[in-house]
Amino acid sequence: MPLPLEPRWFCPDYWREQDAVTGEAPGRGASLFLKAPDRANEQWVLRPYRRGGLIAQLNDASYLWTGRERTRAFRELRLTAALYTQGLPVPRPVAAGVWQRGLVYRAALITVRLAGARALADCLADADEALLERVGATIRRFHHAGLDHVDLNARNLLVAPDGAVFLIDLDRCRLRHTGRWQADNLSRLERSLEKFDAKASLPAILDGYHAKTDD
């Protein structure tokens, strides 16, 4: 049975007061890992929405209000839920929170943490060909579903302890018809691999991506 939603879940201080913070993810959003209430062995990820780039020096967390359904949190929640329902490897969504103040809003998203998963970026040094091919095959599955992941990088691909590959952080992503965006996604991933000095991993990823399957 779903838990009744509580607004305080979106407040990091609440979880700290409950001694329920188990860790923190890297990145500008300072996502927190949490002990889920009344859920044995389940953890959540609380991710506030944060801006990047030069604009963050003036405004790091506020966005223009154009209606609740158009907020980044609600759009990402709906998209994640749709992909999860299709059986695609994304974290299970829990809730989205939005706080409007005048013409702007702030937001946060809660998803279930993938227990024991590591970012692909942290696995590249000892990643074998089979893992890299699974990464490519996973990306292909999302592309076949029409997902344009605008920030496809080695930190937004997670590897579970059993070797399964997941895709996270669907902020600003959308479903589209086949087009140039698929190649653009792969080019973005290539640039990410270069930053981690792992461009040599790309051929195996592309082999997995282009492999003939029934999906």
Domain ranges for the chain, please list them.
Answer: 7-112, 118-210
Strands 93-101 and 63-64 come out as unpaired
Binned at pLDDT 50, 70 and 90, residue 56 comes out as: very low
Architecture of domain 118-210: Orthogonal Bundle (1.10)
pLDDT of residue 58: 55
First-to-last alpha carbon distance for the chain, in angstroms, is 32
Mean pLDDT of 143-172: 97
Q: Rounded to whole angstroms, how far apart are CA atoms 205 and 131?
A: 8
Indicate the pTM of the whole model.
0.91
Residue 28 has pLDDT above 60, yes or no: no
Residue 151: helix, strand or coil by DSSP? coil
User: Would 7-112 and 118-210 be classified into the same CATH topology?
Assistant: no
- Cβ(198)–Cβ(154) below 8 Å: yes
Percent of the chain with pLDDT over 90: 84
Active-site residue list? 151
pLDDT tier for residue 59 given thresholds of 50, 70 and 90: low
Q: Which helix (H) or strand (E) segment is 174 a member of?
A: strand 174-175
Instruction: Return the CATH fold of 7-112.
Output: Phosphorylase Kinase; domain 1 (3.30.200)
Greater pLDDT, 75 or 55 = 75
From residue 69, give the alpha-carbon distance in Å to each of 74, 116, 120, 178, 179: 6, 33, 32, 25, 26
> Are the CB atoms for 190 and 202 separated by under 8 Å?
yes
How many angstroms separate the CA atoms of 107 and 46, rounded? Answer: 11
**pLDDT, averaged across the chain:** 92
